[in-house]
Amino acid sequence: MINAVEYIRHFISAEGRNLGNGILKVDALLNHQILPEVMQAFGQEFARRFASQRVTRILTAEISGIAPAVMTGLALNVPVVYARKKRPVTMSGPVYLAEAASRTKGGTNELVVSAEFLLAGDRVLVIDDFLARGQTSAALLNLVREAGATPVGLGCVVEKAFEGGRAYLHANGFAEVSVESLASILSMDDGKIVLAD
């Protein structure tokens, strides 16, 4: 059985690449290639950490959040919804919209979820690959609130603590939302990657 926390910490130390400007490349694990057994371990760890929250639905953003979110949904036996970055022609009817800045792609992403898949009364766990500045996480949490649902937690595989995402969430009305990360990075100065203990 894979220990999710030990695995991600080792992976970042051994294979993560600091590309500068706060960008961490972990394509071999999260952002291009997916290792299913590792994702399953991540999902089981998030399920363990949020077991008391009575989660009824998971929300993530396409694309890199989908794998850990699906495995968390599998472990909790709840549906997983992913916010689309572009509204497809097949998405008719009411939707919830939010915007978030994207550093890796540049510009702003619109996040859209069909109202039929995010329901008032849901207890929603947001799962994503990274928590950095907090803008995407806040946008997802805003979608939950817009639907009349309750955000019960935020789980991220990697947190770049030095970018202040938690503080951003607190300052933007999400202080009550429990945040859990599997690995936390304290700094990425001078080409190094410094993990929290």
The structural domains of the chain, ordered by start, are 4-83+118-195 (3.40.50.2020)
Binding-site positions read: 24, 31, 132-136, 160
In this prediction, residue 89 carries a pLDDT of 73
In this prediction, residue 1 carries a pLDDT of 80
Look up the pTM and report it: 0.95
Give the pLDDT band of residue 9 (cuts 50, 70, 90): very high
Per-residue pLDDT tens over the stretch 133-190: 999 999 999 999 999 999 999 999 999 999 999 999 999 999 999 999 999 999 999 9
Distance of CA 1 to the CA centre of its chain: 23
Distance CA 110, CA 83 (A): 9
Binding-site positions for xanthine read: 24, 31, 160
Q: Is the pLDDT of residue 86 over 80?
A: no
- Which pairing describes strands 179-187 and 194-195: parallel, antiparallel, or unpaired? antiparallel
Binding-site positions for 5-phospho-alpha-D-ribose 1-diphosphate read: 132-136
Distance CA 168, CA 175 (A): 9
